Structures are given as structure tokens and as C-alpha cells.
Amino acid sequence: MDLDETTGTAAPPGAEPAHGLAELFPTAYRQGRATTVPRIVVKPAPLPPPASALVPEPEDLDAALAPVLDVLAGRRLAALTGAGVSTDSGIPDYRSPGSPVRQPMTFQQFCSSEAFRRHYWARNHLGWRHLRDAKPNAGHAALAALEARGLLTGLVTQNIDLLHVRAGSRAVVHLHGRYDRVKCLTCGAVIPREQHDADLVALNPGWRERHEHVADVEVAPDADVVLESTAGFRITDCACGGVLIPDVVFFGSNTPRERVAAATAIVDDAAALLVAGSSLAVMSGLRFVRRAARAGHPVVILNRGPTRGDDLATVKVDVGTSRALPYLAARLPDLAP
């Protein structure tokens, strides 16, 4: 589907208009030169399940998680986590049942023009501190405790929020990158997000203060803030003149090979795979479920709502991770010497 003049993306039905071309390229549209703006084919993001797919939390946690304990006891685990682990820390997700339909900006859009980059950075400039200020919850702490006891080979996360690290986890692979770094697409330089933020503040005095009320209303999972107009926002490039981009995997782009290799090693070194808070809607996570299943290793999925890996799961429980993970951490026995 080609982009049209109003949306700029092939947004799914029901989605809010995202990254609109008329707003991104106002001069071209005023002068009747709409054909000069980038024309990009965008694959729609997977739709979240309807709210009706949400199963009530189990009242009897002992009964719900007994099969999980039976499968995991005595095995060294690999953990794979998604956005559902961080929702109780105040960070929304993309695909839990009933979530708003969103169309995140793609890597191709970001690289295609300064207008897209301005739009992205203006919105992220308001929202990224939401990730910085979030605190780990009981689910994060439980996984760190399991690792400290030697029950985890490591943790593979699709989240960019660093909450696993803050909770004390050490062997962590951030499949989709991390929010606290910015990198140059030309020279490869890595810049702390705090430093980049200070540069944007200097270029846009008063911007954050004028829009602070927006940041309090709706922040997307990738720290994008719903903001109608980003006209006038100024961005900065690398000292080498290259384009600066968050050190995260954009929708539609590939996970770096070295991260996939590191995550694969964690999964292969384990005797079972525990999936927590992921719908497995994208291949970056689903591939590890398929790999563990092919190896004959048990796969346990703890998630509120259906996942793409349900048919491969040895046990699937519709339960919140902030309840289930501390329960398991308190009851899984130490491994035999």
C-alpha cells in the first residue's frame, strides 16, 4: 500500500493518523508539490487482540501455576521477556488485548528525510524521560533473583527500558536496543541520551515546557508522545555530519546479528524457555520459542492474552507477570549440585 497525503503510513484501521505527510512537509503541500515528498511502502504493525480476548486473572494461583512448577523444577532456564513485564511499571505495551492501535515510525521513514526525523525527535524528546524515571516491578526483581540463584542462563528482552538491569539482572541481551543511547548512522559514534537531550533543549528553548501537558497524557511504548504538530522543532546531527538515531530497533528493521547470536547462546544453554509478557507477534522473539521447541525443550508462556507461540507451548497461563514471576521465584527449587 502506498502512502497517501494524509496519513504518511499504511496505518491499520482504527489507528490514529500517524506521521502525516501534510504536517511533515507543509511547504510542499502549500505549493502543490506533494509529489516531491518521500513515497514509502509501510507494512502495517500487527494489530493487538480485541479486549474480549483478555482472560480474567486466575484467582487460584497455586492451581494455575502448578503445571509450570512441574515443568520447570530442576531445569536451568532461559527467560524471554516482552512489554507485558513492564506494564506494571507504568510503561504501556503495543499488543495486549484492547490496546490502542499504533503505527510506530519505521527505519525507512526515519532515514528518508529530516522532516520525519524532526517529527520523531520532537515527540521522543517529551517522552523518553518516562522510561528513564520508571522503576522495576516485582516481576523484574523475581527474574533477577532467579539469575542470582543460578537458575537462569540469562535473560533475553524485547524491551528497551533497562528495567531488568536496574532490578539487578546481569546476563541480559537487549534484542531491540536500549533507550539511553543515540548512535550515528555514518561514523558509528554512540552518544548518551542525556547528552543528546541537553543538545535538543539548547536548540529548542521552552519546547518541553510548552508541551509538558501532552507528555502527561499519552506516552507510547517506545517513548513516543502523541503530538499533533512538531513544526519548528530543531534537531541536531553528529559532529561528523551524520544522522543521529536512537540505539533501538525500529519497526520494520532487523535485529543486529550479534544480539541474535548472544540471545541464541542463552536459549541453547538452557533446558527450558520461560516467556513472560510477550505476545510473540514479531519474529525477533518468536524465533527463540521455535528454536527451543525444535530442540525438545519445554516452553512455558506467561502472558495476558494470546500469543503466536501458544501452539508450541508446553504450558500457557494467562496471568500477569508481576504476580506469576515472584510466585515462581519463591517456589522453584535450587538446582542439584
Cβ of 156: how many Cβ atoms within 10 Å?
29
Check the annotation: does 111 bind a ligand: no
Going along 113-235, which residue ranges are E strands?
A: 152-157, 172-174, 177-184, 190-192
How far apart, in whole angstroms, are the C-alpha atoms of residue 321 and residue 94? 16
In degrees and rounded to multiples of 5, residue 310 shows phi and psi of -60, -35
- Can you name the residues that pair with 15 across neighbouring β-strands? none
- Active-site residue among 19, 125, 130, 176? 176
Length of the chain: 337
How far apart, in whole angstroms, are the C-alpha atoms of residue 145 and residue 327? 12
How far apart, in whole angstroms, are the C-alpha atoms of residue 298 and residue 77? 10
Q: Write out the H or E segment, with its range, that includes residue 274.
A: strand 272-276
DSSP code of residue 52: G
176 included as an active-site residue: yes
Residue 224 C-alpha cell reads as 513516543
- Can you name the residues that pair with 183 across neighbouring β-strands? 190, 245
Burial class (CB in 10 A: 0-12, 13-18, 19+), 69: middle
Closest CA to 164 of 150, 185, 148: 148
Residue tagged 513544526 (cell numbers): 231
Q: At what angle do helices 283-294 and 257-268 cross, to 10 degrees?
A: 30
Helix/strand/coil percent split, the chain, to 5:
40, 15, 45
Q: Write out the H or E segment, with its range, that includes residue 77.
A: strand 77-81
How far apart, in whole angstroms, are the C-alpha atoms of residue 142 and residue 132? 21
Residue 22 C-alpha cell reads as 501534510
Task: State the catalytic residues.
Answer: 176
Residue ranges at the known binding site for Zn(2+): 184, 187, 238, 240
